[in-house]
Amino acid sequence: MSSAQAVSNQIDRIYRTESRKVFATLVRVLGDFDVAEEAMHDAFAAAMENWARDGIPDNPTAWLISTGRFKAVDRIRRRRRFDDLQPELVQRIDQIELANNSLAEQDIQDDRLRLIFTCCHPAIDQKVQVPLTLREVCGMTTDEIARAFLVAPSTLAQRIVRGKAKIRDAGIPFSIPSLSELPSRLDAVLSVIYLVFNEGYSATSGDTLLRTDLSAEAIRLARLLLELLPDPEVAGLLALMLLHESRRTARVNEDGDIVLLEDQDRSLWDQELIEEGSQLLQRSLRTRRIGTYTIQAAISAVHAEAERASATDWSQIVALYDVLLRIQPSPVVELNRAVAIAMRDTPAEGLKHIEAILDSGHLRDHYLAHSARGELLRRMGEDDEAIRAFEQALSLAMNAPEQRFLHQKLTALKDNAGH
């Protein structure tokens, strides 16, 4: 591999892992989403040219932020010449240059959390807050976010545009709110952090199931938030993510193929993460202010406590899902509960619940609902029906490992059925 190609590969890696951090700081410094986006891309374009010649700097993130700031100033100055020295442009340059002088490494580390709070400001429509944050802070595509919310991409795109306009027009500050203001924004912020984690833990599309950069960033943000606000639901969310993260290594095999929870090698589970997650869960439970993330963490902890899949306390898991449904009813929770019922009772009993969900119109385009239905039908010996269910799931899955997993299921079923 040539040195130029090696630098190009490094820049690609830095873009994947650091670009949203660069963007978040540029948004705060420049005060505008679109200007920050342009500046970030200008900075990476400059890196392609300069780093191939001069080598990669010791702190590439700081270099990119600094270069982005200067590129933005140049853009504004060029506009200023054409706009007859408009006062607001002069003021913008002064503000940027002041920020340049005071920028610190800790500022850069905290800027993504600042931007999350900005996007979750109470002045912004609640339907807009989370999608806007996922797009601007985390760099998820509109299609990925639309799948997470089960809405049309065009609808999501309109919401994101409205949110950015609201921040600009209302002059919403790019800052972490005071302690008295934190609780009013907490639900939206926790939702964002968990959705970021989920995208890293089970990517909606692409060639790999796992995106470690996203899940690691979500855990880092939750730790930072817990320091700012030691709320039981923040502890519950961090516990939930750590307990899930403990299983990461066992979730795929050496070929990158999915390994189901019941088939995972539990010796690969990270016991330190399980211990930390369990301690946070107990800390949250002791407050008796129990919310949805704490209940989900409790469900994950039941799995973590079982030395083998057959020892899982499915009765306890169903009971926890019953509580979760009362607090926050949703079709996805109903689906998970149906699978737990199938494990506690019989596949036929769980299947009744899944088919009721699908018949209601919910999750009709959710591949996991059809995959779960196919698996229960397979366990009941209804191979032809199972094949149709898995084929429906395959038509909806967008992630390559998930598609391979469903192909393998279908191949085994068709061979068994003599197709």
Kindly give, in sequence order, each residue whose CB lies less than 8 Å from that of residue 80, ignoring residues fewer than 6 positions away: 86, 89, 90, 93
Q: 419 or 89: whose pLDDT is higher?
A: 419
Give the residue among 115, 26, 116 at the shortest CA–CA distance from 63: 26
**Structure tokens that stand for 170 in this block:** 């209302």
Residue 101: pLDDT band with limits 50, 70, 90: very low
On the question of pLDDT at 269 being above 60, the answer is yes
The Cα 108–Cα 111 span in angstroms is 5
Integer angstrom CA distances of residue 192 from 115, 116, 186, 279: 11, 8, 10, 23
Task: Decide: helix, strand or coil at residue 214.
Answer: helix
The Cα 203–Cα 197 span in angstroms is 9
Looking at 291-382, list the stretches that DSSP marks H as alpha helix, in order from N- to C-terminal side: 292-305, 314-327, 331-344, 347-359, 367-379
Q: Report residue 5: phi and psi, to 5°.
A: -70, -35
Q: Report residue 258: phi and psi, to 5°.
A: -70, 135
On the question of pLDDT at 86 being above 60, the answer is no
Q: What is the DSSP letter of 251?
A: S
Determine the straight-line distance between the first and last CA of the chain, rounded to whole angstroms.
47
The Cα 379–Cα 389 span in angstroms is 13
| β-sheet bridge partners, residue 206 | 399
Give the residue among 14, 67, 57, 81 at the shortest CA–CA distance from 36: 67
Beta strands, E only, 31-95: none
Average pLDDT for residues 189-206, to the nearest whole number? 75
Lowest mean pLDDT segment, chosen from 12-26, 64-78, 174-188, 217-231: 174-188
**Structure tokens that stand for 174 in this block:** 């790019």
pLDDT tens for 233-249 read: 999 999 999 999 999 88
Give the total residue count for the chain: 419
Residue 349: pLDDT band with limits 50, 70, 90: very high
Average pLDDT for residues 128-143, to the nearest whole number? 82
Kindly give, in sequence order, each residue whose CB lies less than 8 Å from that of residue 33, ignoring residues fewer than 6 positions away: 27, 136, 164, 167, 168
The Cα 350–Cα 376 span in angstroms is 8
